[in-house]
Amino acid sequence: MQDILQSLGLAFNLMWRLDPNLVAIATLSLKVSGGAVLLAAVLALPFGAWLALARFPGRDAVIAVLNGMMGLPPVVVGLLVYLLLSRAGPLGPLGLLFTPAAMSIAQAILIFPIIAALARQVIEDAWDEYREQLLSLNATRWQCAEALLWDMRFSLSTSVLAGFGRAVAEVGAVMIVGGNIDGVTRVMTTAIALETSKGDLPLALALGLVLIFLVVCINFAAQAVKSYARRRHG
Amino acid sequence: MVKAAQRILRVNVFGMFTRPFRTAFGTRAKSTGLCLVATALLLAAGVANSQEKFIIVASTTSTQDSGLFGHILPLFKAKTGIEVRVVAQGTGQALATAKKGDADVVFVHDKVAEAKFVEEGFGVDRREVMYNDFVIVGPKSDPAKSAGKDVIVALRKIAEAKAPFTSRGDKSGTHAAELRYWTQAAIDPQTGKGTWYRETGSGMGPTLNTASAMNAYAFTDRGTWLSFKNRGELAILVEGDARLINQYGIMLVNPARHAHVKKALGRQFIEWVASAEGQAAIASYKVNGEQLFFPNYGR
Amino acid sequence: MTSILPLSVRDLGFTIAGHEVIQGVSLDLAAGSRTVVLGPNGAGKSVLLRLLHGLLQPTGGTLRWAAADARRHQAMVFQRPVMLRRSALANIRFALDVAGAKGETDARARLALDRVGLGPLAERPARVLSGGEQQRLALARAWALQPQVLFLDEPTASLDPAATRAVEDVIVAMHQAGATIVMTTHDIGQARRLATDLLFLHQGRLIEATPAEAFFAQPRSAEAAAFIRGELLW
């Protein structure tokens, strides 16, 4: 209990005086995971919409696999991306290993199934409501998908945020492909792991509290924007 | 480059949320998507290339976590302008990383493994540049009565008492050293697996955390121990044995095997560490007034 | 422009899960009429409309329009209008864009809004409009497409009398502008007000197809007579 109180105090102190190290690490965390979300969403939202509207043999299997992939183990994704980006791997010449870009890529792979699967569900539910109207207008599948993606933007923002939450909180993948290099690839979660391994548990927990605080703040902001927009757009 | 990418990013992200798509399938929606992909790639490339003059050093947690790198690398950068990016892993993993060509320089502590690494042609220009020493930590009450100077005797007593002992079990330099002492003591710790001998399969810090929580003995390098905070009831019990010397070696990843290795920058770093200036920098690093690493290049 | 009418329907059937929803329907639809499909709930009115519009594929019989590409010259208004989460104007523009309309789509969309009296609400988010306004917007969206045939499925079933009146006025205006109207209702009063021709449907079968005047003056079938008298049919 003593430790936890100490951590709370420490967390507050770090944030209050905007500790430059903390700011740098937290900023990198947000950039890396933000990039991952961007990359994943650009691919996963259209894919989810396509899967919602498409009918083909084996579709149920694809959905089951996609849903299952929501629980991808970060370490496995990290290893996979590591082997791809390693100098000895197929994408080695890009020289991306141990860079923030590599971390974004790993996280993007990790959260692609989350965003795609949730988007698929949202779009499929909406499709029930919109189907006849859109087909009556002679819209093509792709036009339907596009219209639904835009119309469901408030609900989809929740799936994207879920992806962001998972990306920013995972440590296994970024540790492997980022290498936790001080000032270059050290993010909140790898810093927490480092402090834990140095036995500085109160500091590790304090960093964890800061991370939780940041994520909650972002969700608060998103929620506020969302409910304002919903009131305006119905 | 990064700035430009960020500018594109900002414009499009805000554009996307403030304006509905004006057309159903029109160019705007499509180009927005393409822009986003392009931006993400640009951003990735920009971040990757933002620092031109740097090398990657695969090293161990002991040098990183003890704060040694935090002390000497800024000095090196001030002199040469070269940024050293340290990926801290166990020695085994660090060597594996280097074998794949993912590092320019290796800075580790496992003579046997290093010799093999060089012999197989993965590394060149190996130099022994510093040492510190290993210690055995354990509960202050010392139930196995292992305290003293002789590491072999201490290990025998721990095994006889079947006192809990946490080992890293991760093929790191420290793990390899620990196993060598068990062999010298003619004990196979695997017989105690599942009872008193516990392999954590993780780094030095997590292993010490486990030892602290279980009040167990552990074999560690002094540097990590000195900067380790979650000690609980643990204290140093065995130290000062000449056999406990922990030698660090530094070497360049063989550019003949991996053409992209930054050999000029890497050599510059190796030579600096071995130089009088680098050696002095190592010697001057202290935690609570205690010197952690002892330079010994050429000795 | 070649006319897609007359429409010739022969022995049309629609079976779902072993249940014959529509059976043996034959009819001819001429240009210029205001045809009302009348019948009790569950008679198959909505299904028939969807078959004619092409939203459902018949399981039997034939359906032949006078010109190819007939779908492009039809529009449909549903009982519950489905509006996209964007402004009233943007909803109409969406329909025009999907239909591949070229040129002054903005002017066309605004004109359609003016015709249904929604001009001042052009920039209002469509989903926050009242039920009656949304239904008029749905009519404006259909009108903008300049269809030769307009299908309406119970367009006023969930509206109050004032809104119903407004919607009926628009329907009449669209008819005067040249559209052939086919609508379903279970409201005899509405059928009397709007119909030039009448299709009476009962239990999936077409019982009567006559000019409206004749139907109300002297129904030929017992079911129709009972329905007009306000008796419950099943």
- Domain boundary assignment for chain A: 29-199
Domain identity same for B148 and B237: yes
Interatomic CA distance for residues B91 and C70, integer angstroms: 74
Q: Are residues B225 and B287 in the same domain?
A: no
In order along its 299 residues, chain B shows pLDDT tens digits of 344 444 433 333 333 333 333 333 344 444 455 555 555 555 555 555 555 799 999 999 888 888 899 999 999 999 999 999 999 988 889 999 999 999 999 999 999 999 999 999 999 999 999 999 999 999 999 999 999 999 999 999 999 999 999 999 988 889 999 999 999 999 999 988 888 999 998 889 999 999 999 999 999 999 889 889 899 999 999 999 999 999 999 999 999 999 999 999 999 999 999 999 999 999 999 988 889 999 999 87
Instruction: Give me Rg for the CA atoms of chain B.
Output: 24
Which of A132, A147, A153 is opposite residue C55, by nearest beta carbon?
A132
Residue B44 sits at the vertex; the CA angle it makes with B43 and B45, to the nearest 5 degrees, is 95
Q: Is B25 in Cβ contact with C93 (below 8 Å)? A: no
C88 touches chain A (CB under 8 A): no
Superfamily of domain C7-83+148-228: P-loop containing nucleotide triphosphate hydrolases (3.40.50.300)
Same domain, B139 and B224: yes
pLDDT score of A227 more than 50: yes
CB contact under 8 A, A143 and B208: no
**Are residues B105 and B121 both part of a single domain?**
yes
Q: How far is CA C51 from each of CA C26, C58, C104, rounded to the nearest angstrom?
A: 12, 6, 33
Task: Answer whether A139 touches C (CB < 8 Å).
Answer: yes
Concatenated DSSP letters for B161-223?
HT--EEE--S--HHHHHHHHHHHHTT--GGGGBTTTEEE--S-HHHHHHHHHHHT-EEEEEHH
- B27 in contact with C at a CB cutoff of 8 Å? no
Cα A153 to Cα A158: distance, rounded to the nearest angstrom: 9
Chain A: closest CA distance from residue B127 (Å): 24
Residues B290 and B255 in one domain: yes
CA distance A227 to chain C (A): 14
CA nearest neighbour of C88 among C132, C146, C128: C128
Q: Which amino acid is at A168?
A: V
- As a whole number of angstroms, the distance between CA C203 and CA B228 comes to 83
Domain of B36 in residue numbering reads as: 2-46
Q: What 3-state class would DSSP assign to A68?
A: helix
By C-alpha distance, the chain C residue nearest B22 is C90
Q: Which of C55, C84, C128 comes nearest A147 by C-beta?
A: C84
Among C82, C98, C126, whose Cβ lies nearest the Cβ of A138? Answer: C98
Distance from CA of C90 to the nearest CA of B (A): 7
Report if pTM > 0.90: no
Q: How wide is the angle at C-alpha C157 spanned by C-alphas C151 and C162, nearest 5°? A: 105
Q: How many CB pairs under 8 A join A and C?
A: 51
Radius of gyration of chain C, Cα coordinates, nearest whole angstrom: 18
Per the CB < 8 A criterion, the answer to whether A126 and A151 are in contact is yes
Q: Does A30 touch chain C (CB under 8 A)?
A: no
pLDDT at site B4? 43
Using pLDDT thresholds of 50, 70 and 90, give the confidence band for residue A181.
very high
Find the helix or strand (DSSP H, E) in which B88 lies: strand B83-89
Please give, one letter per residue, the 3-state secondary structure of A97-108: CCCHHHHHHHHH
Task: Say yes or no for a CB contact (<8 Å) between A132 and C50.
Answer: yes
Domains held by chain B: number: 3
* Shortest CA gap C93–chain B (Å): 7
Q: Is C87 on the interface with B (CB under 8 A)?
A: yes
Which chain C residue shows the shortest CA-CA distance from A148? C84
C97 touches chain B (CB under 8 A): yes
Amino acid type, C216 = F
Residues of B in Cβ contact (< 8 Å) with C90: 20, 22
Residue B156 belongs to domain with CATH number: 3.40.190.10
C 133-172 → A contacts, CB under 8 A? 145
Q: What interface predicted TM-score (ipTM) does this complex get?
A: 0.92
Kindly give the parts of chain C with pLDDT less than 50.
none
Distance CA C155, CA C46 (A): 11
Residue B246 has a pLDDT of 92
CB contact under 8 A, C94 and B24: yes
A134 contacts in chain C (CB < 8 Å):
82
For domain A29-199, the CATH architecture is Orthogonal Bundle (1.10)
Q: What is the pLDDT of residue A226?
A: 87
Which residues in chain C are contacts of A122 at CB distance < 8 A? none
Residues B148, B286 share a domain: no
β-pairing, B165-167 with B54-60? unpaired
C94 touches chain B (CB under 8 A): yes
Same domain, yes or no: B34 and B106:
no
Contact C90 B24 (CB under 8 A): no
Nearest chain B residue (CA) to A142: B25
Q: Burial letters for B26-59: b for 16+ Cβ neighbours within 10 Å, e otherwise?
A: eeebeebbebbeebbebbbbbbbeeeeebbbbbb
What pLDDT does B44 receive? 55
User: Which chains are within 8 Å of A by 3+ CB pairs?
Assistant: B, C
Q: CB-hemisphere CA count at 13 Å for C27? A: 26
Q: Give the neighbours of chain C: at least 3 Cβ pairs within 8 Å.
A: A, B
Contact call for residues C208 and C215 (beta carbons, < 8 A) = yes
Q: With contacts defined as CB-CB under 8 Å, which chain C residues touch A135?
A: 55
Same domain, B137 and B122: no
Q: Say if B23 is an interface residue toward chain C (CB within 8 Å).
A: yes
Q: Which residues of A touch B212 (CB under 8 A)?
A: 199
Q: Please give the pLDDT value at position B139.
A: 96
H/E run at residue B128? strand B123-139
Residue of chain A whose alpha carbon sits nearest to that of C127: A234
